Structure 1
Amino acid sequence: MLLAGIVVLLWGTAATAFELALRWVTPFELLVYASATSVIALALILSAQRAWSRFGDVPRATWLQAAALGALNPFLYYLVLFAAYARLPGQIAMALNYAWPLVLALLAVPILRQPLSRRQGLAIGISFIGALIIVTGGSLSLDGIDPWGVALALGSTLIWASFWLLNARAQADPVIALFLGFGVGLLLALLASPLFGGIALPPAAAWPALIYVGLFEMGLTFVLWLTALQWSHRAARLAQLIYLAPFLSLVFLHLIIGEPIAASTPFGLALIIAAILWQRERTTSG
């Protein structure tokens, strides 16, 4: 439980770290440097576990799967997510991104051929109202809203839900899979760099935020979370702790960035999280 609490606390600081890093670098540069940090951290973990020899046992299909997953996460997912943070206040980008479990329920209809229950449909409707309240600041007016930023934030939920569906079928060791995925994602980012004007060397002041994102939003924290779930006898209940992270994010955004938090944001976020937990309760109870 303590380890899970540490992970939730770290993920709660992610939005603030994104905002700080994006003061110095572009979304693409943040993707490159944070992914590189994650690859190094995961390589050190594999070395500590003396797991490099296990790569010889990884079947070809797993390598191909890792390539596909790496294209989604970190490459496409974080590129879109960071672009959303660059265009929107952190509280809006973060809150919209947490709607991904409901997008997952929608994707499961055509991909897994799972019918959408009435309860799930109602939960999605409630979360849509919550998202609308967050985006409009409670005024329900679209004036002054960056439509591209909102589209990017919602697009990130679609990418992450797609990644989750594909990754759920993966059979590889989780740390090896993470390393392969981030390695492929970093390689794709480097190959795509000419399309984004190259990669500039960031100033010294940017490095703490870049490294922090790479360690505590990406690679290392995923390993800690997997470890916490393995140690827990109630993994499903432990997983619900993750929904404390967005509310912690609002606190850190206000205290560290100085971002004023609209009263509508925690209210809309509460609607989204409540809808997620409500529809999950139905799913897990049968």
Structure 2
Amino acid sequence: MSRQGKAYAYGLAAVLAWSTVATAFKISLEHLTPAQLVLYASTASFLVLLGVLAAQRRLPELACALRRHWKRSLLLGAVNPFVYYLVLFRAYDLLPAQEAQAINYTWALTMTLLAIPLLKQTPRRADVVAALVCYLGVLVIATRGEVLALHFSNFEGLVYALASTLLWAGYWIFNAKDEREPVIGLALNFGFALPMALVWCLLGDGLGQASLSGLLGAAYVGAFEMGLTFVAWLMAMKLTESTARIANLIFLSPLLSLALIHLIVGETIYPSTFVGLALILGGLALQKWLTRAPAAGAA
């Protein structure tokens, strides 16, 4: 297989895995509270990442990175996975999976908008147009098509879903200057987040009597949402001849995810979800097209 072929294989594996996580979230939350799911899934992910580093014979690097970057690891670990997944799982607990996962796809646009005040970037016409289109899609999904009436199906869930995009976007903005190797950095984040998640559980919901189904769901979420999939995506980006070719694969994920939500979770997919998701993805695609168009013209 060629280098680009391997990149596609890793990229498709990551996209397929990400397509299943909305379903896994919803099923796991039938057996666990959001805080418990954060704790057990983070534990699974931490063990998976340690396994990856052990297989690569890089565990000694972890101790060295810990000594050099413990402050950054503590701060970023508090954001992701601890607070981010608490908020995201709460959104999935309150909303149908189809709505939560569709709104979550606006994080890429949120990152662009958040970079304007945080990085002092100048807003572009493409960003404004994309924002209007994407957030119209969010409004269609959140109101289930009753946009003019502004009748939200679950306003609290909508707030949590949008807050999760802010946290995720902010994490990646601050992560851009991270000196740590990505897999080692992520392992350190999870290592610092585990005590936080444990204390949060003990002060709130408690550890409970976790069922086997709940633990298996958390292990799946930890391995494929937080752990192995991230490594596969990194490999795809490292091997590809064109970042855009791999990045475009992510547009396959929403429809695959909706199909699994319908077939496995049993949700009836609302027409408003398809319309809203089309607006969100269309807004993101429009942003990319408008951003590239001037460069192409200049060439």
Per the normalisation by structure 2, the TM-score is 0.91
> CA-to-partner distance for each residue in 1:181-227, whole Å, 9 max, x for gaps?
11112121112223323212311222221111111111111011101
Alignment of 1:83 with 2:90, yes or no, is yes
CA distance in 2, matches of 1:143, 1:255: 28
Cα distance between partner residues in 2 of 1:91 and 1:31: 20
Counterpart among 251, 270, 274 of residue 282 in structure 2: 274
| Structure 1 counterpart of 2:72, from 65, 74, 81 | 65
What is aligned with 1:19?
26
Structure-2 separation of matches of 1:57 and 1:23: 40
Deviation at 1:61? 5.3
1:192 to 196, 200, 223: 200
Could you tell me which runs of 5 or more consecutive residues in structure 2 were left unpaired when the two chains were aligned: 1-7
The aligned counterpart of 1:210 is: 218
Q: In terms of mean alpha carbon deviation, does 182-191 or 217-226 score higher?
A: 182-191
Partner amino acid, structure 2, of 1:143: H
The aligned amino acid for 1:277 is A
* Residue number in structure 1 paired with 2:118: 111
Does the CA contact (< 8 Å) of 2:144 and 2:152 recur in 1?
no
Cα distance in 2 for residues equivalent to 1:57 and 1:137 = 51
Separation of aligned partners in 1, 2:51 and 2:257: 28
**Seq. identity, %:** 43
The separation in 1 between residues aligned to 2:237 and 2:87, in whole angstroms, is 28
CA deviation vs aligned residue, 1:62-99 (integer Å, no higher than 9, x gap): 22112111111100111000000000000111111110
Task: State the alpha-carbon separation in 2 of the partners of residues 81 and 136 from structure 1.
Answer: 19
What does 1:30-179 align with in structure 2 at a 5 Å threshold?
30-58=37-65, 60=67, 62-140=69-147, 141-143=149-151, 145-179=153-187
- Deviations 1:27-66 (CA, angstroms, capped at 9, x unpaired): 1101000000000000111111111222354275522112
Distance 1:13 1:59, change over 3 A: closer
2-side partners of 1:100 and 1:195: how far apart?
A: 30
Would the alpha carbon gap of residues 123 and 245 (structure 1) be closer, same or farther in structure 2, given more than 3 Å must change?
A: same
Q: In 1, distance between residues paired with 2:175 and 2:292?
A: 20
Report how many aligned residue pairs link the two structures: 286
What is the identity, as a one-letter code, of the residue corresponding to 1:4?
G
- SS at the partner of 1:252? helix
2:196 match: secondary structure: helix
Cα-Cα RMSD:
1.5
3-state DSSP class of the match of 1:260? Answer: coil
Write the deviation string for residues 135-184 of structure 1: whole angstroms up to 9, x where unpaired: 11112234362111000000000000000101111121111001001111
Distance in 2, matches of 1:129 and 1:65, equals 36
In structure 2, C-alpha distance between the alignment counterparts of 1:130 and 1:12, rounded to whole Å: 20
The 10-residue stretch of structure 1 (233-242 or 50-59) with the greater mean CA deviation from structure 2: 50-59
Q: What one-letter code is carried by the residue in structure 1 that aligns with 2:58?
A: A
Structure-1 separation of matches of 2:68 and 2:108 = 27
**CA distance, structure 1, for counterparts of residue 292 and residue 152 of structure 2:** 40
- Aligned mates of 2:289, 2:204 — CA distance in 1: 43
